[in-house]
Structure 1
């Protein structure tokens, strides 16, 4: 079957793909570009020798793949085994051989019949050429997507990429290989991948163990390009870095060919190669002709390209116009492109930088004044750096930080002063740049602190990983200078917040524990209460609700007497702790106490907001939580009133900043939908639930760590509402989606999500039963029971009601699949579990117990045990009359009375 697509541009540009999605910004520029992987282009040896650095560019694969056989075999196994979709993050310092390994793997994979695609980050000024790229997967054994520099992509852009349809063809084996310098961004990226149900793994590329073989292979390959015999060269230098070995081999061969003595150290190798760049510029200039830009002008252009990276021609013209070359920007760009042609001809880009990246970083360092290497620094370089650092911060800061790791003058003389003057540049540079800055040994603490002062108070999905890395460094530096209990308590408290935002839950918990330990050494109750409250947050994120409750209870008990004595000083902190305490109490099934704590918190926030409108947000949050707790106690009218008041307050707050308040409004919609459903307002409830899910989907795409749990809960509630509205198929699909989200969360953190997964599985089981699919329903209920049984054994007071629900559904499913006796056994177990839950919280579980008693009675009656069924139903009816029944289930009592009348008539 042939595929044809016509792409036309009118007064702009156009780009198309066949067999995949195209994600673009509002102005039409692509977020990323997809290309079919192509093998290394054949390069003229004479052209390569003109600039020896060209032979170091992995794109030309001058050196055959050598020395990574074990890692290549591991990639083959990853490709061929495991689930349909898998993602791997491969990281190592620049020059370690990631790109070469990926290229060899891509070539092999394409040879086995797979479609191999590369993704290039596309925002900003670089525009694609008109045309289409055919990435259809029909007839291919699988799909491999390779993403280089993945740590430099904004998280949201990676998330969009991974939603691309080309990765989600049913039955098509798919692998995504991400290449990066560090693993700092991986936890957040891995969380984003939960959206696509991918198996995830990471791999650090270690230094090469067999450097002699690598060096020998590189030297032989370079000698071939120079037309030299493959004579044995000197022993390999003591470098473990692949690029360093290649540089040493290249310089040795080039020096041999020209009769020079090669340098013996890494700095000397770099200088040698850069000297060859200068020689090439001088040679072109001396020849005259069309590409005769003088070397000083070319030097400035190459320096600028190292800072900016490739640009479209109009932007590049503006950059070159500001370099002070004395020549027209058009001529300089043309001559620069002759020396350094675009990696992808036809895209219309210019200012291709030096490759490999490490050489560009070293070129920046050596051109900037302050070093003692035998290489001419340029007086104009600091001014150009200052001019380009702002508009091109993403690349410039990252490359200068990498250069500063090897060249001690770059940071103190050039990068740090610029960032001290404008610390927000570090944030504009992105998460990878923040991580690179945090790794610099000589960066001043004052500068790190100034950058950190620019961090947003809460999390930022694109920056969380870098902010966590930089805060980790700041706290370590501060505590090395001042290890007092107060400094440790404050430092670890702050660090735990950033780590939580970055999805580093285990590390955050460790930091929170350290904060508490330090705070206990102080005679400062508010400080200890704050640290205990944060410990409760971290324990909750790690699936330890009982421990989280104990920490929060201790915090509230410590702060209560101080609040009563000095409410003006301590009331906000105490009110916040009471709100947290209510959530923690509800999480362990202590709902009566949770309601008391929530009512107290709301009253305190109401007083605070009346005195100071800045506390309105606290009041809105407390009212929403109170609505949920009132619903748990079947006080639906009051719950609805609290939720509506909360929504009204938040809408007023959102008038000034909707983006900041949207998550809170969405959370309120979830509670509002539950209240309306319980009051029988089905249409309004369904509308609110749909709106909540739609908004949470958008939020979870941006920040899955923060919003996926809420999305899963909202999907579960919407599934129930849809089913009750008669939209059974949609309700079932929505509940299945909730199960899929919960499964992803559970795989990442089983302790935190086992209970929630079991609960939505029980809902799925119920809907599958109603859809006439009892075997699938039984499997879902059975899985829920398996998840909850060990939890119930450890903490029965928390999990008995959830387990009872799953067991009761398992009983119904067993009967529906013809296993009547087994169903009767499970029904008895469900009654016993609900009886225990009812004794602990009769107002909450009376209706549940009545419901399972009715089912047990039906099973007994069907088995001919009418007298026993009669007794069970009488107990159920007494419970039904003695407890609040949701209006939506008002028919239950009438149906139960009908059952009783029938059995009584039969037993007379």
Structure 2
């Protein structure tokens, strides 16, 4: 098994992978039966490396080509039985699913990952099935589908556990990844007692690997540390939950000092810790704020989506969390507007408005959500609906501006300006000019 330190520079690997794709394309023209499988493998590897390089859209396109090619090869049979290309197809499906998930095409990602699991059930080894189940479980967990995620991880561990207990180290890092994914999912669900036996198993396996394959320990310990765990002489340990608060406060200090890149790094460190879900929502929100201030709006969407999921889960058992959920939904909607995903912005904004109406949220908060919804609707060409939403926002903001002009001037001006634009789109020119003039006088 190759170690991570044996890998070449990513740019060099990617260049070589792209060259291999080109060579296999050329060869497959003259002898497709011999070279198309190699082209599929080269495409799959190229897609993986493109994803690691952050070129996700390109990675999806290349991964889709690999999936289509292996599906065609699997359908043709090739005289070697129906499953001869099944594992190559499963690998390509997992790769495609992970790339789609990084672009937040979660539903499509799950379709791909589920297809990989079913292929591995029919044609793969137990370890291939375990790996595909873990990929599926991780994505389900990220989407908030905790029960199904846990089921996938538990099924995978049934396959890995006999090998772990027997002390097999041939796939030690993969076994560790499976153990850690299961333990982390149980912690995320607040089921610490159920996690305890797997933590004991992890501590025993750590000692065994240290004694028999010490070269692996640096990579296993790095994997543990990145998720906020460690193994000591007394067993498997989690970072203290207090560490979340400490790191979050440090991130806030850096943000106030204008050190935004450092603050973003600190919040990223916080959200990697296995703390209580609700506690992670605040640093996730803070990370999104910093990324937005850096102009990295696209990167701010995912932390806000996670914060929404965490607040929603907390609000199911504690009504006091509803205002926080509404606020995170509005912030998500605003960020989606910033990256011109106007249709996607509507759902969180509608949900935020509903919560703010039901729970008597602050007029300013409701006004912000109504204004943001009006912006989304206007960009979608639904100017009548946009006007209704913006008029309500203006009506709420007007008395707030009268009482506290410095606090509400910018929001009131923006709402009036957008109101004027929507009136103009509807042919109500005189009213549009009046709204714009009022905005300019503020």
TM-score category, normalised to shorter length? 0.5 to 0.7
Aligned to 2:302: 847
The verdict on how the C-alpha distance between 1:559 and 1:831 changes in structure 2, with shifts beyond 3 A counting, is farther
- Following the alignment from structure 2 to structure 1, what is the Cα–Cα distance between the partners of residues 75 and 308? 49
2:104 aligns to what SS in structure 1? coil
Is 1:805–2:271 an aligned residue pair? no
CA distance in 2, matches of 1:892, 1:540: 48
1:553 aligned to which of 10, 13, 18: 18
CA distance in 1, matches of 2:301, 2:361: 22
Does the CA contact (< 8 Å) of 2:50 and 2:56 recur in 1? yes
Matched, 1:626 2:86: no
Q: Report if aligned partners of 2:142, 2:306 keep a CA contact under 8 Å in 1.
A: no
Contact 1:723–1:731, Cα closer than 8 Å, also in 2: yes
Distance in 1 between the 2:139 and 2:270 partners? 27
Cα offset, 1:676, TM superposition: 4.2
Residues 571/587 of structure 1: CA separation in 2 closer, same or farther (3 Å cut): same
Q: Does structure 2 conserve the Cα–Cα contact (< 8 Å) formed by 1:673 and 1:684?
A: yes
Question: What does residue 41 of structure 2 align with?
Answer: 576
User: Compared with structure 1, are the counterparts of its residues 618 and 828 closer, same or farther at alpha carbon in structure 2 (3 Å cutoff)?
Assistant: closer
| DSSP-derived class of the 1:634 partner | coil
Gaps of 5+ in 2: 232-236, 252-260, 311-326, 366-399, 401-406, 409-442
**Structure 1 residue 904 corresponds to structure 2 residue 364:** yes
| Matching of residues 513-592 of structure 1 within 5 Å | 542=7, 545-564=10-29, 566-592=31-57
The change in CA–CA distance for 1:740 and 1:732 in structure 2 (over 3 A counts) is: same
Distance in 2 between the 1:629 and 1:608 partners? 22
- What's the CA shift for 1:707? 2.4
Query: Would the aligned equivalents of 1:762 and 1:806 in 2 still touch at CA under 8 Å?
Result: no
Structure 1 residues 648 and 807 mapped into 2: Cα distance closer, same or farther (>3 Å)?
closer
Match of 1:40 in 2: none
How many Å apart are 1:580 and its aligned residue? 1.8
Q: Once structures 1 and 2 are overlaid, which stretch shifts more, 580-589 or 569-578?
A: 580-589
CA positional deviation for 1:777: 4.7
Secondary structure in structure 2 of the residue aligned to 1:602: helix
Partner of residue 640 from structure 1, selected from 102, 106, 110:
110
Give 1:665's match in structure 2, choosing from 120, 129, 132: 129
Residues 845/648 of structure 1: CA separation in 2 closer, same or farther (3 Å cut): same
1:674 is aligned to 138
Q: What corresponds to 1:878 in structure 2? A: 334
Aligned counterparts of 1:890 and 1:737: Cα–Cα separation in 2: 42
- 2:285, 2:303 within 8 Å by CA — same for their partners in 1? no
CA distance in 2, matches of 1:649, 1:561: 30
Partner residue in 2 for 1:760: 227
Tell me, in whole angstroms, the C-alpha distance in 1 between the residues paired with 2:202 and 2:59: 26
Verify: 1:649 aligned to 2:116, yes or no. Answer: no
Does the residue aligned with 1:597 lie in a helix, a strand or coil? Answer: helix
Query: For residues 362 and 45 of structure 2, what CA distance do their matches in structure 1 show?
Result: 50
Q: CA offset at residue 574 of structure 1? A: 1.4
Q: CA deviation at 1:668?
A: 1.6
Q: Say what the alpha-carbon RMSD is for the aligned residues.
A: 5.4
Task: Classify the secondary structure of the residue corresponding to 1:649.
Answer: helix
Q: Quote the Cα distance in structure 1 between the aligned partners of 2:61 and 2:116.
A: 18
Aligned length: 317
Aligned partner (choices 569, 590, 615) of residue 85 of structure 2: 615
Shift of 1:664: 0.9
TM-score (norm 2): 0.53
Alpha-carbon distance change, 682 to 854 in structure 1, aligned in 2, over 3 angstroms: closer
* Cα gap change, 1:846 to 1:707, in 2 (>3 Å): same
Structure 1 residue 686 and structure 2 residue 150: aligned? Answer: yes
Q: CA deviation at 1:546?
A: 4.9
- C-alpha distance in structure 2 between counterparts of 1:896 and 1:804, whole Å: 30
- After TM superposition, the score normalised by the length of structure 1 is 0.29
Determine the C-alpha separation between the residues in 2 that align with 1:809 and 1:709. 19
In structure 2, the CA distance between the partners of 1:546 and 1:710, relative to structure 1 (3 Å rule), is: farther
1:562-602 alpha-carbon deviations (Å, 9 max, x no partner)? 33554333211111112122223333443333222221111
2:162 is aligned, of 686, 698, 720, to 698
- The 5-angstrom pairing of residues 292-303 of structure 1 reads none
By how many angstroms is 1:662 displaced? 1.1
Q: Does 1:717 align with 2:181?
A: yes
Bigger fraction of residues in helix? 2
- Residues 77-96 of structure 1: pairs in structure 2 closer than 5 A: none
Larger radius of gyration: 1
Closer, same or farther: CA 755–562 of 1 in aligned 2, 3 Å: farther
Contact preservation (8 Å) 2:101, 2:109: yes
Residues 854, 600 of structure 1: alpha-carbon distance in 2 compared, 3 angstrom cutoff: closer
Is the 2:285–2:304 contact (alpha carbons within 8 Å) kept by the matching residues of 1?
A: no
Distance 1:680 1:827 in 2: 17
